[in-house]
Structure 1
Amino acid sequence: MSSTAVGIASTDDRGVDGFTAAWQEWHAAQEARLADPHGFLAITSLHFLTAEPERFADAPGVWSTAAEGVLVRLDPEDRLEVDGVVITGEHRFDPIPERGGINAVWGDVVLEIARRGGYDILRPRHPDNDLRVAYHGTPAFAPDPRWAVTGRFVPFDEPRPTTVGASVEGLQHVYDAPGRVEFELSGETLGLTVFNGATPGSFMALFTDATSGVTTYAANRSVQIAAPDENGAVLIDFNRASNLPCAYTDLATCPLPPAGNRLPVAIEAGHRIPYERS
């Protein structure tokens, strides 16, 4: 099964230099996302909202939630902006779907109002947060074509609701799993349950392996997989295995891998343990 069959040029087509250059471009994009002034490294707190109005030191106003949505009561001098609309006084946000979110701008701060694991949360993102200001890159294994493996997507008869744990104790996430990808690596036949990816037809796999907790982050890594071709062929490039936000901060609610996604081999590719966790 060739990688060209799934729309991604093989190492032979691009050459090792081209393979490395493509990986470096991917890695640079990952670094830019992490260093963004309002990325996950800018988060200063994680608040689980309740019916009881609360005031927080790193956000304006008083916050609460109900079935009708999140409510904020701003002080007279405060204002928020959401999609170009200025908010003052009292404002009720529409109910947020699971894994959805709204960004409200407060000066140079972005307030993330989101729903995770059935809870409405507030996460202020301050560009001057020490974790973001001190960030100097994520260590990674050198790219190696042997970690880009071809496999096959095996769909389930229908998507399976799959409950997984989270980096926050007591929180759970539920994803619809469309199927599994099966592949061979290090002489073993392996498989990963996949969830839907960021683009139509693509997948995302959460996994751990024999490097987890040793040279890579213990709880999870993720790998994006492009949509399969007409024969179900996929390319799984573990060189692009990336850390989730919880690898850097305890203020993330990242999902953990399904039980069957704990690979018995050492995937010495992709992101390593961040300096922040070393």
Structure 2
Amino acid sequence: MSDDPADPLGTTAPTGPEVPAGRTAWQEWHEHRVAIVSAPDGPLSLTGTHWLADHPAGRIPAVPGRWRATDGGVSLTAAPEDGLRLDDEPFTGSAVLAADEGPPAHSRLAAGEVRLVVIRREGEWAVRVFDPAAPARRAFTGIEATPYDPAFALPGRFRPYGGDRTVQVENADGRARGLDLGGELDFAFEGVEHTLQVAVDEVDGSLWAVFGDATGGRTSYRFRFLRPGVPAPDGSVTVDLNRALLPPCAFADHFICPFPPPGNTLPFAVEAGERRLKGALATGI
């Protein structure tokens, strides 16, 4: 599940392999999701996103090493007492790092059990800290989700734009950023037609949507993600709202998830899929 379509952290919250529709398949998907988000390097373990522009001296509080953005990447300088490991080997000296392309478990840098992930957004560099001992991970008791309802598994059709369109949307950190959209997804619910603007993954052609609905901020998190998969050659694809996902920022405040673009707030209640975190963490809805 990602902050945005380009975020490699989307792999921390995958929808799982494609499986036949049905209650049993949904239960397996839900259990897989709980396991992924509660993993030692899952989204619950994110304790900080540190923009290097905010630390011109190169020192990030509680993060070892000295960090500096360059034209070619992020320059990191470390001393032996920093206790850093690069590519599973003790690291001292200097190196220039590119943005991590995989999940936190595959990041090149570690300090003990903590993973340090280099990211880039709209030309700005940051370091993310994933700590298995994060308070949010220790307090996690599960994801509140509505049991599978076939009424929310809907036939849909994807209509590509013929090129990306970029819209500015507010992000969870209060900043507006560009969101690339590749087309529209049409479907009907209770006899009424609806449309969601969707991004298209450049690698596999799968669709990705950020949407709101009438439950947002009430009985569900304020917005959710949906990954319908890869449409057929004729554009047909199942819009299974039973697999609506909580965005990463529902698990940790340090993600920069985009809010729904204009027109992506559905006028009906999507009482399906993941709704919010259970217990004391069910806040910020």
TM normalised by structure 1 equals 0.85
Matches within 5 A, 1:3-82: 9=20, 19-50=22-53, 52-82=56-86
Pairing partner for 1:217 from 217, 221, 233:
221
Partner of 1:261: 264
Matches within 5 A, 1:1-278: 9=20, 19-50=22-53, 52-84=56-88, 86-94=90-98, 96=99, 102-175=107-180, 177-197=181-201, 200-218=204-222, 220-275=223-278, 276-278=281-283
Displaced runs of 4+ in structure 1, greater than 4 A? 7-10, 97-103
- For structure 1, the residue ranges without an aligned partner over 5 or more in a row are 1-6, 11-18
Q: Hey, what's the Cα distance between the residues in 1 that align with 2:91 and 2:202?
A: 31
Q: Hey, what's the Cα distance between the residues in 2 that align with 1:71 and 1:61?
A: 10
Aligned to 1:77, the other structure's residue is in SS state: helix
Q: Letter of the aligned partner of 1:165 in structure 2?
A: E
Which sits farther off after the overlay, 70-79 or 147-156?
70-79
Aligned to 2:231, the other structure's residue is in SS state: coil
Q: Letter of the aligned partner of 1:153 in structure 2?
A: F
Q: Letter of the aligned partner of 2:276 in structure 1?
A: I
Query: 8 Å contact 1:197–1:225 — kept in the other structure?
Result: no
1:85 deviates by 5.1
Q: Deviations over 1:181-224 (max 9, x none)?
A: 10101331100111124861210111001111111111x21111
**CA separation of 1:140/1:52 partners in 2, compared to 1, >3 Å: closer, same or farther?**
same
**CA separation of 1:105/1:97 partners in 2, compared to 1, >3 Å: closer, same or farther?**
closer
Query: 8 Å contact 1:82–1:105 — kept in the other structure?
Result: yes
Question: What CA RMSD, in Å, does the superposition of the two structures yield over aligned residues?
Answer: 2.4
Q: Letter of the aligned partner of 1:187 in structure 2?
A: G
1:54 deviates by 3.3
Aligned to 2:80, the other structure's residue is in SS state: coil
1:60 deviates by 0.9
Aligned to 1:271, the other structure's residue is in SS state: strand
Query: 8 Å contact 2:211–2:266 — kept in the other structure?
Result: yes
Q: Deviations over 1:47-73 (max 9, x none)?
A: 111271232343211222132321222
Q: Hey, what's the Cα distance between the residues in 1 that align with 2:114 and 2:19?
A: 39
Q: Letter of the aligned partner of 2:136 in structure 1?
A: L
Q: Hey, what's the Cα distance between the residues in 1 that align with 2:189 and 2:247?
A: 23
Q: Hey, what's the Cα distance between the residues in 2 that align with 1:99 and 1:181?
A: 28
**CA separation of 1:9/1:77 partners in 2, compared to 1, >3 Å: closer, same or farther?**
closer
Larger Rg: 1
**CA separation of 1:137/1:53 partners in 2, compared to 1, >3 Å: closer, same or farther?**
same
**CA separation of 1:145/1:82 partners in 2, compared to 1, >3 Å: closer, same or farther?**
farther
1:171 deviates by 4.2
Q: Deviations over 1:15-42 (max 9, x none)?
A: xxxx111001111111111111011211
**CA separation of 1:103/1:139 partners in 2, compared to 1, >3 Å: closer, same or farther?**
farther
**CA separation of 1:171/1:46 partners in 2, compared to 1, >3 Å: closer, same or farther?**
farther
Query: 8 Å contact 2:47–2:252 — kept in the other structure?
Result: no
